[in-house]
Chains A and B, each alone.
Chain A
Amino acid sequence: MSRQRFVKESARLEKNLLSLSLGVTALFFILIMRLWYLQIIKAEDYQNLSENNRLRLVPVAAPRGTILDRNGKLMIWNRPSFSVVLFKQDVKDKDLLLGQLIRYLELDREELYEKWSKSRGRAKYYPITIDSGITQDQLEFLEENRLNLPGVDIQMKPVREYADNGTAVHLAGYIGEISEQDLAKEEFSRYNSGDYVGKNGLERVWEKELHGVDGGRLMEVDARGRVLRTVTETVPTIGNSLMLTLDRTIQEQAEQALGSRAGGAVALDVRTGEVLAFASSPLFDPALFAGRIPKKVWDGYLEDVRHPLINKVLTGQYPPGSTFKIITALAGLEEGLIDEHSTVSCNGSYTLGNRTFHCWQRHGHGQVNLKLALKQSCDVYFYNLADRLGVDRIAAYARKYGLGAPTGIALEHEKPGLIPSTAWKEKKYKQKWARGETISVGIGQGYVLATPLQLASMMASVANGGTVYRPYVVKKVVDQEGKVLREFKPEILGNAGVSRRSLELVKSGLQAVVNEPGGTGAAARLAEVMVGGKTGTSQVVKLRTGKGNPYQFRDHALFVAFAPVDKPEIAVAVVVEHGEHGGSAAAPVARAMLRAYFEGKGAIKKPVARQGRYSSNRGRDAVTEDTGDATGD
């Protein structure tokens, strides 16, 4: 039997077994090192991955705070909208799924893939929003095919709903998905891709108050994506509401009166600087910006010569034209160059050296004093005065009224306008100021530029006796329970320091503009309230060849006004781009606004029926026709 065969254990086997033992130990050591690497060095990474595996966040966006007018009327509130989101961890076949989504939701392939890859490094277990504001059909399709689209989920987000499809849209701004650039900023560190954020206007400036605190449910899911339990739940906190200084009625009247024309109209309370109306025309549809904006609509906005997306009140810089004569007149009075009695003879033109400056009235106005010059907007009177004042003195008075610098309203991108001076020209063009240029400045042409907001502010300061207020739009910040969190008070920036007598003289001229026969601003006349105002027509290009001009070469129509003349409350500025004549194009807009203001106060009885109101309007329009000539400067 083999059992009998005895083999003495060799030293070699023993030796080999020893080295095998060492080898075994070494291999175990490698295993231990690997475990050390995974469980200690890389532990945090893997813990994150493990959390990512099991947790899904279903964010619940906080409804934004509403925006109300000064009387508590809702201007902007919320409605639910549906977004399509992706949980990347649950997606089984990326290309198949994205392909399906591209087909059914009509998404852009590149954009979608970019969203997918950009979402790397986002907050853990946070879904990517791939489409917002989907249609009912798309919503139904997704609901039906949910099981075939692993990783896809639908989430409800509140989006903005606008009174009358949007009023004061340029002031309010719109919301949209947060941009990549914003996401990178510190102030948006708590935002996630797909979140709505104010893009401009009040929505952006007041983003912090309006946004609220988003909530969400953190849920635990198993390997198949089935929800097992809710780990934590945070209820969203609704954003705070803004109560504006705006009066919706005046605002609507301004927008209606501007109609489809391009332009801007502002109303200020002369006693506080509160903005009562802030209309830029034409309007755009702010709701479109919350979803994917159709390319056709977007291109339409961009190609429209009326520039619907531009906030003309804040950023539209126009030559103020004859409305600037208010400044020239005040400067003349204060500097003692004119008084109510001094006259200038207007024969239709003013000659300086070899240049001739025409009055808008080619036949001339004859012998004109200050009141008449304002009333009929005689250019020659102001050519003469401007020439005597010189540009720097005019500029000094313009600045006292806040022209040539931003009004400081709490909105982004305000334009400063431009008040030229000799120093300015020297600096900008390295050229000496030419005397002839002063002539143009005297009637608000040449280099002079102002925004409608500046003109309204100037008018307000003239009306209230010289106080320059910082215009403001937000009266109160109110929380959900109606508690006032912040309240804003008028802020005085300075005083123009112009004598009462000078102001009274100019104001009586402005009263004549609107109320006396032959005044250029008759279209702004109100039977019940005394209105003062000034028309303006500003040349867009030097060369003009008459009424048949293409749209872009037509003059801008301007009108500034205040009322009541004896105890002013409201100031208005209106610009109608290429509206041609201040008296006929802009003044009726101002009147509609003033009328709405005084109706609201009860100073003017509201017409009982719409029909009646229109006919009464028409009756007053007849006044405009009476004054025939008074449509230009």
Chain B
Amino acid sequence: MPLIDRRLLTNFDWTLLGLTLVIAALGVVNIVSATASYNVPGTAYYLKQFYWILTGLFLVLALSSVDYHLLDDLAIWVYGVVVFLLLVVLVAGKTSMGATRWLHLGFFSIQPSEPMKIVIIIIFARLFSRYPANSTLTIKGMAVPLLIVGLPALLIMKQPDLGTAILVLLIAGSMMLAVGVNPSALMAGVVAAVPVIYVGWSFYLREYQKNRILDFLNPERSRLGSGYHIIQSKIAVGSGGFFGKGYLKGTQTQLRFLPEQHTDFAFSVFSEEWGFLGCFVVLALYLSLVLWGLHIATRCNDRFGSLLAVGVTAMLFWHIVINIGMVIGLFPVVGVPLPFFSYGGTAMVTSMMGVALLLNISMRRFMFSKN
């Protein structure tokens, strides 16, 4: 099989890559401002972010050249390995700040919960592509997928990493919705969720996680805990007004009232300095990206590819909605980065891998319809 087919180049999805790069570029510009008040020796954050984007681009090109159907074969193996790693993390992982997320493998460390987001997409795509095309998921039919997603989700929650666990569940849920869920099964799911949430709240959630949720419901509860983050972020966003305070002129940002302002709260920096106008543009870009992802899924003639594209799009979508929702006080504070916008290598690599998958599916859309 040739690595590069000419058809692949002619079908290359410039729209997707363009949207991604525009957002990533805005992200770098925003990180310059977010970190302007920092006094950190060494390479500046925005430069590092730029390097991560370059790394991501390289990944995109490398991964696009490999046919995604390879993943169909590897799905079970990959899933098994990552679930195994999650178990190892719980037993032998490195604990930092009360959570055990990292696994040290000699030269480098990995955080197996992060690839789990992609892995769940692959395994679900494989699973659902083998289901009859026009059937919906029944209660019985949901048992297997729920087990598949439930195991890693529980392990991740146990670390504890509530944000990632929720994302994995949301990605899985979105894919099931895309496939179609039998109304009675949907009802059953909702009913089942109640005891699950209760048990989760009582036995799985750590005190700080409960606090975060309670703080979100009532920010005044702890003006200095996570409630403080919500309040300061809302002040930053709201005080931006229609036109914003101007680039590098956000007082909340430059005077360091914002928490995590180059990572999870990067969007509040942007909102403060660019106002509603800027936010509208960025949200429009993100919406275009998500809709384009769904468009890729729709026009793909291959069910596995379609489901893969839906999963990746769901991953991006939920990151965007949860992060922005958190910044503007609609969701509790959970550590979910904004794709391509928040500073951070891991997030950038994961998001870029997602884009690589989408590009891969998009450029191979005609390859199988002719068979």
Which residues of A are at the interface with B, using a C-beta cutoff of 8 A? 1-4, 6-14, 16-18, 20-21, 24-25, 27-28, 30-32, 34-36, 38-40, 42-43, 45-47, 49-51, 53-54, 92, 220-224, 228
Contact = CB atoms under 8 A, between A and B. Distances in A.
Interface in B276-311: 276, 279-280, 283, 286-287, 290-291, 294, 297-298, 300-304, 306-307, 310
Given A12-B133, A13-B178, A43 B302 contact: no
Given A12-B134, A16-B177, A25-B291, A35 B256 contact: no
Interface stretch (B49-57, B89-97, B183-191, B229-237): B229-237
B257 A6 contact: no
A21 B328 contact: no
A325 to B, nearest CB: 75
B238 A46 contact: yes
B69 A13 contact: no
A273 B119 CA distance: 100
B287 A49 contact: no
A13 B271 contact: no
A96 to B, nearest CB: 12
B330 interface: yes
Given A31-B321, A36-B276, A16 B301 contact: no
Contacts of A38: 234, 237-238, 328-329
Contacts, number: 160
B279 A39 contact: yes
Given A17-B298, A35-B271, A223 B328 contact: no
A95 to B, nearest CB: 13
A223 B256 CA distance: 5
A43 B256 CA distance: 20
Contact of B302 (A7, A53, A221): A7
A43 B300 contact: no
Contacts of A31: 283, 321, 324-325, 328, 330
Nearest to B290: A24
B268 to A, nearest CB: 10
A219 B371 CA distance: 73
B271 to A, nearest CB: 7
A50 B134 contact: no
Contact of A221 (B67, B69, B177, B255): B255
A6 B302 contact: yes
Contacts of A49: 235, 238-239
Contacts of A45: 238
B325 A17 contact: no
Given A34-B328, A34-B330, A222 B310 contact: no
Interface of B: 37, 67, 69, 72-73, 129, 133-134, 136, 174, 177-180, 224, 232, 234-242, 251-252, 255-257, 271, 275-276, 279-280, 283, 286-287, 290-291, 294, 297-298, 300-304, 306-307, 310, 317, 321, 324-325, 328-330, 368, 371
A24 to B, nearest CB: 5
A219 to B, nearest CB: 12
Given A32-B280, A43-B242, A223-B256, A27 B321 contact: yes
7 contacts: A7-B302, A12-B180, A25-B291, A28-B286, A28-B321, A31-B321, A49-B239
Nearest to B239: A50
A223 to B, nearest CB: 4
A16 B180 CA distance: 7
Contacts of B325: 31, 34
Nearest to B275: A39
A224 B279 CA distance: 28
B297 A17 contact: yes
Contacts of A4: 371
B306 A13 contact: yes
A53 B69 CA distance: 54
Q: What 10 A-B pairs have minimum CB-CB distances, sorted nearest first?
A: A46-B238, A10-B133, A50-B239, A39-B276, A38-B238, A43-B241, A7-B303, A222-B255, A223-B256, A46-B239
Most buried by A among B236, B241, B307: B241
Given A32-B280, A50-B235, A13 B255 contact: no
A92 B255 CA distance: 18
Contacts of B324: 31
Contacts of A25: 287, 291
A20 B238 contact: no
B255 A54 contact: yes
A4 B325 CA distance: 43
A13 B179 contact: yes
Contacts of A21: 291, 294
A11 B256 CA distance: 52
A223 B228 CA distance: 12
Contacts of B136: 12
Contacts of A43: 238-242
A38 B324 CA distance: 13
Nearest to A53: B257
Given A7-B129, A223-B257, A47 B283 contact: no
Given A31-B325, A38-B328, 9 more contacts: A9-B133, A9-B301, A32-B280, A35-B328, A39-B271, A40-B241, A43-B239, A49-B239, A50-B239
Nearest to B305: A9
A31 B328 CA distance: 8
A54 B232 CA distance: 12
A42 B238 contact: yes
Nearest to A92: B224
Contact of A53 (B133, B255, B298): B255
Contacts of B306: 9, 13, 17
B274 to A, nearest CB: 10
A17 B256 contact: no
A15 to B, nearest CB: 9
A54 B251 contact: yes
Contacts of B291: 21, 24-25
Contacts of B178: 13, 16-17, 20
Given A20-B174, A25-B291, A223-B256, A13 B303 contact: yes
A3 B180 contact: no
B303 A10 contact: yes
